[in-house]
Every structure is written in C-alpha cells, then in structure tokens.
Chains A and B, each alone.
Chain A
Amino acid sequence: MTKTIAEIKNPVLSIRNLSVAYDDNYAVKNVSVDIKKNAVTAIMGPSGCGKSTLLRALNRMHELYDNITTEGKVVLNDENIQKMPAIRLRRQMGMVFQRPNPFPTLSIYDNVIAGYKLNGIRGKKSEKDEIVERSLTDVALWDEVKDSLYKKGNFLSGGQQQRLCIARALAFNPEVILMDEPTSALDPIATSRIEDLIIKLKENYSIVLVTHNMSQAARISDYSLFMYLGELIEYGKTKNMFTNPQDPKTEEYLSGKFS
C-alpha cells in the first residue's frame, strides 16, 4: 500500500524514495510523493509517525545533526535539492517552526529582513523598507506594528510573533513554505488568524504544513498526506480523504480511534 506513488502534474516538489534515519532507526521509510504548486499540502499522522522528520528533510535541516542520515531524492522545480548549495535551497524553502522564534536581539524590522541581514546581503534602504512592508502586509501584521518597527519583538503576542516569523520566511520570496505545526503553541483566535493567512498565502506560495490537528488539515489543506510509523499510508485530495479514506488505517485515524 505504501508503494503507490502519488504523482501529480507539474509538482513544485517531488519526493522519491525518501528515507530518514536517526542512527539506525528509520523515522521516514521510503516515501514517494509529489507536492502541488500553489496549494496547501498537509502532513498528518499520530505522534512519532515521522511527519516533522519528513518536512525537515525538505530543506536539509537534518544535515545539522551527525546522527541523522537521509536517503532518496527530492526535486524542487527540476533541481535535485541534494545538489543545490544548502544556502540557496533554504532561501527557496522558507520554514516556520512550532514555536514562534523571532530573534530576540533584533528589532521587528530587522527580524523581517533577518535573512538578508544575517547573510550580509546589502541593499538600499528603500528596497529593504519595501520588503519589510510587503512581508508584514502579507501576514496582516503591518498595521499592528508599523509604529514600532524598530522596537524588539518581545512585546508581541504569541500569534503576532508567529506571523512575524512567517513574514521573515516570506521576505526571501521563497518557492515553498514549510510549516511545522505552526499553531500548536497558539490560542484558538491566533490559530484561526494563521489559518486564514495560510489560505491566502497559497495564491503565491506552495505550502507544506505538518499538523497534529485533523480538523485543521480539513479546514485549510487541498491535499493531505497520512503517515503512520514512518510510512506514507495515503495521499490525495483532502476532501476525498476525509469523506472516503481508502486505507483502513487512515479511516481509523480520521475517526479518532487512535491519535
């Protein structure tokens, strides 16, 4: 059942036979799947099923840890990501983390252009202003922070900080945005604002979203991927998967028999 390769036309990402192991324990086993452009793809599954591990393989975050090995191939717009310089890859694949993690030493303004600033990319003030305004407007934070751009971001609420982190990822105008349970540390109101934002963002970006929350996947994703014990169990349009799951495991999960 895991052998079904989920293929679609003109994918932004195609993942082939991807396996990731921590020391000798495989957390992701032989996953092959295509990710659609300008859509929200949700990765669902119970805790420990390898969904975050799969996501983090896509921008090669695993390279930071010596005990993690990755096998298989990921192609981003016809380019093998293993052959790209990690720095260029990560600029094309923005990442948003589970907990908001703005840089505490930088102002809101500098946090948005942190990617440029940390890399020592110089630009005209007017260009930077434009990037900051565009990114903050995209995440609907501009009106809330435009008068305190040069203050540090620690007075912002958790939801605002998370939107700031999304703005930081948008500043590079990435191809894909990877989101690792971006709302799990937020309250329901902040969560729904981020969900609205994700739906809006898919006009310009392709989004891969790891979520622990089935109803969230149902609300905002176009495609869903169900993983169990490191294997890809089912992949398809979210609507179809939720109404008519093909695999008994998916059905059990969706009906709440395990989580």
Chain B
Amino acid sequence: MVLWGVIALSILTISPIVLIIYKLVVKGYRQLSFDFLIRNTPDTFEAMTAVSNGEIIPGGIANGIVGTLIMVAMSSIIAIPVGVITGIYLYENSSKAMANITRNISDILQGVPSIVLGLISYLWIVKHITHGFSALAGSVSMSIMMLPMIVRSTEETLKMIPQTLKEAALALGTPYHKVILRVLIPTGFSGLLTGILLGISRILGETAPLMLTALGSSVINLDITKPTSAVPLLIWEFYNDPNMVNLIWSSSLFLMTFVLLLNIISKRFAARRS
C-alpha cells in the first residue's frame, strides 16, 4: 500500500518534465532544422504566407542564440570574478560580522524578483550609460542574478576542502595568496564550475529583466550597446504574433535542451567531485 503510494507520488513528480518535453518535441520538431539555428527570425508577412500555404515557417532564431550567448558570456565575465572572490572572503572570514552581513545580503539578493533586477539595470545602464536598450544592460541584470549562486557555491566548495591541505601548503612556506590561487581553487575547481554552470542555466531562461534591458532585435547584433535579442525574448515575441505561434515550440525545445544539457554537465562535475 505504502509502496504504491510512493510510486504514485514519484510518477506525479516526474510527469511534468516528461509531459513538457513530450509536448515540445511533438509540436516543435517540424520547425527544427539547420536553418533554424543559422537564420534570423522571419518577418510577420513571410510567416503568414508560409502558414497559409501550409508550409513550415522560414527562418530561425540565430539572432536570439547569438544574443543569448553574448549576454551569458558578459554576465559570466562580470559575475564569476566578483562571486568567486566574495566566496573566498566568506570562507576565510566565516565568523566575522562583515562576512555574516555579506552572506545574508547575498541570500536576499537571490530572492529579489528578476523583474526588479531588470528595472534596476534599466535605471543604471539603459538610462545613464548606453542611453538606450542594450545587451550590456541585459548582462548586468543577469549577472546580479548569477552572483549569489556563485558566492554560495564557492563558499560551500571551499568549506569541503580539508583544512589540512591548506595547512600543508602553508607549512611549506607558501604565501597566503598563493595557497588560495594554487591549492584551494584548483582543488575545488569542479565544485566552482558546478556553481557557475548552474548559475548560467538559471539565467539562460530569464525573460522578464531582458524585456526592460535588452529589448530584442530581429537581426544578429554584436554591438553590446545596442538592443539585442535572446532566445526567451523571441519566445515571448512569437507568442504575441499569431502568425509565428509555431515557432514557439521549436524555440522552447531548443532552450530546454540547452538548459538540460548544462544541468547534466554540472551534475557530472558535481559527481566527479565526490
């Protein structure tokens, strides 16, 4: 009786993900092709013609893919050094008041709604630095989102490294900063990487802050001070255009696969650590 209950609940738990993937594959696979990955989004008229002729919609989401990659890369460049250094600080001074405050604030930051981060980035970057919607603004909002995850995972990873390893390095007359750079970080590398990959997979799907910062673009844009597209932004745009509805599923399938892959990779790193 209990066993059946457990089995039923387990099925209930995994069914959403199975149903989601099933739906995305069934509805999206027809649009998926190499073209889908290397061409920009079609305009409404092209899409409408294709739909009324019963053909698949031409074009793809290359502008979104490139935009997402650029913004994720920039967010990482901002968030990884700051996050790792903060994590090291928290580990080294774990009981100091300043560290406790930092840790709590970092936890609170993790709970800030992403749309609020978008608003802040809009005020800081869009209004005052790039004077218009931009990839930079999008990256800043997403890097703030990544930051607490990297801080926490860095601290937790370093805590798991045996204290004796650090003492061994110091007992060899190694200066403190070299102990951190050459012993602690290499030893905890897979743990740090896991945190970073999870942070990236979290921001990959963010839409709300990008609406207020990156805005979107129908062509590939490499200028970080100009409006840029991203895959989740495109999904939102497709949703708002009755002619493009078919593209929603294939774009979602792409995004989902990407996030899933990152998750699997980071799980493998985490497993290798232990």
Binding site for B on A (CB under 8 A): 59, 61, 64, 86-91, 94-95, 97-99, 101, 103-105, 114-115, 117-120, 165, 168-169, 172
Contact = CB atoms under 8 A, between A and B. Distances in A.
A91 B173 contact: yes
Interface string B151-189: 000000000001011011111111100110011001101
A59 B171 contact: yes
Contacts, number: 70
A119 B174 CA distance: 6
A120 B172 CA distance: 12
A68 to B, nearest CB: 13
B178 A87 contact: no
Interface residues of B, number: 19
A102 to B, nearest CB: 8
B171 A118 contact: no
Contacts of A86: 173
A117 B183 CA distance: 11
Contacts of A90: 170-173
Contacts of B183: 103, 105, 118
Contacts of B178: 118-120
Interface string B123-150: 0000000000000000000000000000
A148 to B, nearest CB: 20
Contacts of B164: 97-99, 101
B187 A104 contact: yes
A118 B28 CA distance: 53
Contacts of B175: 87, 119
Nearest to B182: A118
A94 B171 CA distance: 7
A165 B174 contact: no
Nearest to B167: A61
B268 to A, nearest CB: 18
B187 A118 contact: no
Interface string B4-39: 000000000000000000000000000000000000
B173 to A, nearest CB: 4
Nearest to A117: B182
A105 B187 contact: yes
Contacts of A101: 162, 164-165, 167-168
A115 B170 contact: no
Nearest to B169: A118
A122 B146 CA distance: 38
A114 B162 contact: no
A114 B173 contact: no
8 contacts: A97-B171, A101-B168, A105-B189, A115-B174, A118-B183, A119-B178, A165-B168, A168-B168
Name the 10 nearest CB pairs between A and B, nearest first. Answer: A95-B171, A90-B173, A115-B172, A91-B173, A87-B173, A118-B174, A105-B186, A101-B164, A101-B168, A118-B182
Given A95-B168, A115-B173, 16 more contacts: A87-B173, A91-B172, A94-B171, A95-B167, A97-B164, A97-B168, A98-B164, A99-B164, A101-B165, A101-B167, A104-B165, A104-B187, A115-B174, A119-B178, A168-B168, A169-B172
A172 B172 contact: yes
A165 B167 CA distance: 12
Contacts of A115: 172-174
A98 B168 CA distance: 11
A114 B169 contact: yes
Nearest to B164: A101
A88 B175 CA distance: 10
Nearest to A90: B173
A40 B178 CA distance: 32
